């Protein structure tokens, strides 16, 4: 038997025999459900044999036969009813287990999210792509029609989504484009570090989504439930179907606050904060500006994360403030990094290490935050040094700045667009999907090995636009992405180490070194970050003005 667990109450498997029932009972199952009609296969025992063996062992049974490929709404309803009536855990079987998994998926459609259902079945080895529209429709068969259709559909209205919409419109104004995003507010997230450092006000980093959607682009204010790339369709919550000729996927990533035990219940109080949330960045500054002594922890989870420098930016701005206030000698700064280096591109490390020394901060590598107790002011880290058993350590704090674990959004991770790690699977140069040729991706959600920053999305947007328009014209991709990303590391108020690099850590400076040497802290880089980049974001990037980011052409050879 090849038993696969779907949930705590249900497992499924291929055809069983009467001889298997004893083992099924020994494994702790209390009921058996048969979803395979008798006589479907020449080597198939009839249900009566299974039932007789089960009764001898005190197991409940149900015979709910379903014709292969014809799971009806009534079948799913009967399966759900049976699951509520019989003792659990339940083992359901058919020829392969697929019908059982399908029946469970449809029966749970009104109580679980589409992503949760797809994740559970995918982990058990069953692909529910064929019934995803029914799952999104509460388990019932929807009408087979599109509610809307567009030349280009863009999933995500963040920096990447709006920028690529604007870049597409600037190249081909007659395109019918839709941006799908449920949010009312669009945030300039690179500004949140500055909010946490007392430089920006939070309100400076937010604008209404409606004010930023490019003219002539449709805004579908909804969440995406699933993708049907074989039918060129996106399924929205409520089972609305949006068809596309070409699709761009850029919904950002998921901040997985729940992965740290106890974190959610204490965020924003007890000295627990994070610049990774709009409403918490002001609390960071409140804590920093009021702290006169004690221990301050700054954490960084395993990669990948958006803006890998942000966790230490919070440290630098805090340390700089405490130094200038004359209280740094009273504050114990600890940086707990799940990785093994301060920064992934070695050319910038010497300058950063000088500031670590300046602020007398201790570096704790291979330290991953796993739990926190806000009222008790305690945090627990798993220390996983190479070739050493994992050790859990307890650390007291007066203030802790948390960078949360991050992953692809659930609806991406369980979709046909994702690679094994859950990220959208693209060609790293053209940003075109490796399997579905009419799909592109950019921003934090795709699997290219570049830094996940707004600067990267700014570079990627015209590349996707260029290649998508080339595809419309029947041409091959005409632009390539070199992995460019930028991370302005705010090492003190008034100075920044401007890290700019591409694939493999190759330095890709935007300015000559005589004007701005990114490997050293400079006032010029601070002016760029504080005064120039925000207007460039709002008035250029999101409006299709591609200053200094002309796409690099693909070689004809």
Instruction: Spot the catalytic one: 34, 94, 250, 307.
Output: 307
Q: Residues 235, 240, 241, 242: is their CA dihedral positive or negative?
A: negative
CA quadruple 505, 508, 511, 516: dihedral, nearest 10: 0
Angle (CA) 227 230 235, round 5°: 25
Contacts of 241 (CB under 8 A, 6+ apart): 133, 142, 145, 146, 147, 233, 234, 235
Strand ranges (E), 356-398: 362-365, 367-373, 378-383, 391-396
Distances (CA, A) of 385 to 261, 342, 361: 22, 15, 20
Closest residue by Cα to residue 379 from 371, 391, 367, 368: 371
Mark whether 403 is an active-site residue: no
The structure tokens listed for 57 are: 């062992």
Query: Of all helices (H) and strands (E), which one includes residue 282?
Result: helix 281-290
**DSSP per position, 523-536:** HHHHHIIIIIHHHH
Contact 455/485 with Cβ under 8 angstroms? yes
Rg (CA), the chain: 27
Instruction: Measure the CA–CA gap between 466 and 166, rounded to whole angstroms.
Output: 12
- Tally of CA atoms within 13 A in the half-sphere of 193 that contains its CB: 26
Residue 532, number of CB atoms within 10 A of its CB: 11
Q: Residues 324, 325, 326, 327: is their CA dihedral positive or negative?
A: negative
Phi (first) and psi of residue 238, to 5 degrees: 85, 5
The structure tokens listed for 1 are: 């038997």
Contact 401/292 with Cβ under 8 angstroms? no
Contacts of 479 (CB under 8 A, 6+ apart): 430, 462, 463, 466, 467, 470, 551, 552, 553, 554
Contact 496/525 with Cβ under 8 angstroms? yes
Contacts of 511 (CB under 8 A, 6+ apart): 518
Closest residue by Cα to residue 35 from 88, 80, 84, 89: 80
Query: Of all helices (H) and strands (E), which one includes residue 284?
Result: helix 281-290
Contacts of 279 (CB under 8 A, 6+ apart): 202, 268
Which residues make beta-bridge pairs with 244? Answer: 150
| Burial track 51-68 (b if 16+ CB lie within 10 A, e otherwise) | bebbeeeebbbbbbebee
Phi-psi category of 350—alpha, beta or left, where left has phi over 0 and alpha has psi -120 to 50? alpha
Mark whether 487 is an active-site residue: yes
Known catalytic residues are 307, 487
């Amino acid at each position: 038997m090849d038993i696969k667990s779907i949930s705590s109450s249900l497992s499924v498997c291929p055809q069983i025999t009467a001889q298997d029932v004893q083992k099924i009972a020994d494994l702790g199952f209390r009921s058996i459900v048969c979803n395979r009609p008798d006589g479907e296969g020449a080597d198939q025992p009839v249900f009566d044999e299974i039932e007789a063996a089960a009764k001898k062992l005190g197991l409940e049974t149900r015979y709910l036969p379903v014709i292969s490929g014809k799971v009806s709404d009534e079948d799913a309803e009967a399966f759900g009813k049976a699951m509520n009536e019989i003792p659990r855990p339940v083992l359901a079987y058919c020829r392969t287990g697929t019908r059982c998994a399908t029946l469970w998926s449809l029966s749970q459609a009104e109580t679980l999210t589409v992503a949760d259902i797809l994740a559970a079945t995918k982990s058990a080895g069953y692909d529910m792509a064929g019934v995803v529209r029914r799952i999104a429709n509460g388990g019932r068969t929807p009408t087979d029609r599109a509610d809307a259709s567009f030349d280009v559909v863009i999933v995500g209205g963040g920096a990447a989504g709006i920028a690529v919409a604007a870049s597409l419109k600037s190249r081909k104004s007659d395109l019918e484009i839709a941006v799908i995003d449920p949010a009312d507010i669009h945030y300039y997230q690179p500004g949140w570090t500055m909010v946490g450092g007392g430089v920006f006000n939070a309100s400076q980093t937010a604008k209404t989504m409606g004010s930023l959607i490019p003219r002539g682009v449709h805004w579908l204010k909804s969440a995406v439930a699933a993708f049907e790339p074989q039918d060129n369709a996106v399924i929205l919550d409520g089972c609305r179907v949006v068809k596309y000729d070409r699709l761009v996927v850029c919904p950002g990533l998921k901040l997985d606050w729940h992965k740290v035990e106890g974190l959610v219940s204490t965020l924003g109080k007890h000295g627990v904060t994070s610049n990774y949330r709009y409403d918490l960045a002001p609390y960071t500054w409140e804590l920093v500006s009021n702290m006169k002594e004690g221990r301050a922890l700054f954490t960084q989870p395993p990669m990948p994360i958006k803006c890998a420098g942000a966790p230490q930016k919070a440290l630098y701005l805090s340390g700089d403030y405490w130094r200038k206030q004359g209280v740094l000698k009273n504050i114990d700064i600890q940086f707990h990094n799940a990785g093994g280096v301060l920064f992934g591109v070695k050319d910038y490390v010497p300058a950063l290490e000088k500031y670590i020394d300046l602020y007398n901060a201790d570096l704790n590598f291979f330290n991953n935050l796993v739990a926190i107790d806000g009222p008790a002011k305690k945090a627990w880290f798993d220390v996983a040094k190479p070739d050493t058993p994992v050790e859990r350590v307890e650390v007291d704090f007066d203030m802790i700045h948390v960078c949360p674990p991050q992953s692809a959004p659930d609806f991406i991770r369980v979709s046909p667009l994702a690679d094994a790690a859950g990220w959208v699977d693209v060609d790293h140069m053209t940003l075109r999907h490796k399997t579905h040729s009419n799909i592109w991706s950019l921003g934090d959600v795709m699997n290219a090995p570049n830094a996940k920053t707004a600067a990267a999305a700014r570079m990627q947007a015209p590349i996707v636009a260029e290649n998508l328009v080339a595809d419309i014209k029947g041409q091959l991709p005409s632009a390539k992405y070199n992995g460019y990303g930028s991370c302005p590391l705010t090492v003190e108020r008034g100075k920044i180490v401007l890290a700019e690099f591409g694939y493999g850590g190759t330095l890709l400076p935007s300015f000559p070194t005589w004007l701005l040497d990114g490997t050293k802290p400079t006032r010029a880089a601070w002016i760029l970050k504080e005064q120039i980049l925000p207007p460039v974001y709002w008035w250029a990037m999101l409006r299709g003005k591609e200053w200094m980011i002309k796409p690099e052409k693909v070689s004809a050879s």
